[in-house]
Amino acid sequence: MSDEVLLPLLLSVKVAGWATAITLVTGVLVAWWVARRPFRGREVFDALMTLPMVMPPTVLGYYLIVLVGRRGWFGGWLHDHLGVTLMFTWQGAVIAASVVAFPLVYKAARAAFEEVPRQTENAARVLGASEWKVFYRVSLPLAWRSILAGAMLAFARALGEFGATLMVAGSIPGKTQTLSIAVYEAVQAGEDGVANFLVIVTSVVCVLVLVGSGRLLRLRHAA
């Protein structure tokens, strides 16, 4: 396997893996808080959390540039105080993929937590369990299959992210050129063989993820 295929593949797996880990932690915690803490404006907050799923990638990429760019309020602070630059790095690609994939974990986790019986959680509280223990000993074990299915979908989405990643991380071979960007570059360069192979690899991975997440959901409903 040549470097023009192997490097984008390895980079995409690394970016998607980190993005999935980030969204798994943040998505589950935010979903549990929203599902268990009614507050005014919850539906608006839910819409904001889901917005990356429907927002055009270029618009999302622009928001990320405003946020993490060298002149952005967060990116500027990182550059001025820590000397860290996120633009045109693989870490920037992770941020873009995380934002895009976040709604998939968040929606799956929230739906799962809302189906956990309140009586079971209340019984744990009566027995003296703290909120944190109720979360990881009661709620999370009952919701893990749906959460894992959402995480698998998030991995597939992060693996195929293109628009926001291109705007934030660019297309630097071996550094920020992920699978989807490599396909675009190969098509532009007329390298149909490389493009076809990359498309096949991406498609196979996505099919395997979808099949796996579907089986997890069936196991959850059968349980």
* Domain spans, the chain: 3-222
DSSP letters of 185-223?
Answer: HHHHTT-HHHHHHHHHHHHHHHHHHHHHHHHHHHHHHH-
Please state, as a whole number, how many other Cβ atoms lie within 10 Å of the Cβ of residue 84: 13
**71-117 pLDDT per residue, tens:** 888 888 898 888 888 999 999 999 999 999 999 999 999 999 999 88
pLDDT of residue 55: 92
Does 160 score more than 80 pLDDT?
Answer: yes
CATH topology (fold) of 3-222: MetI-like fold (1.10.3720)
Q: What is the pLDDT of residue 30?
A: 96
Show the tokens assigned to 186.
Answer: 């190969």
* Residue in 147, 124, 133, 111 with CA at minimum distance from that of residue 34: 111
* pTM of the complete model beyond 0.75: yes
Chain position carrying tokens 């196979």: 204
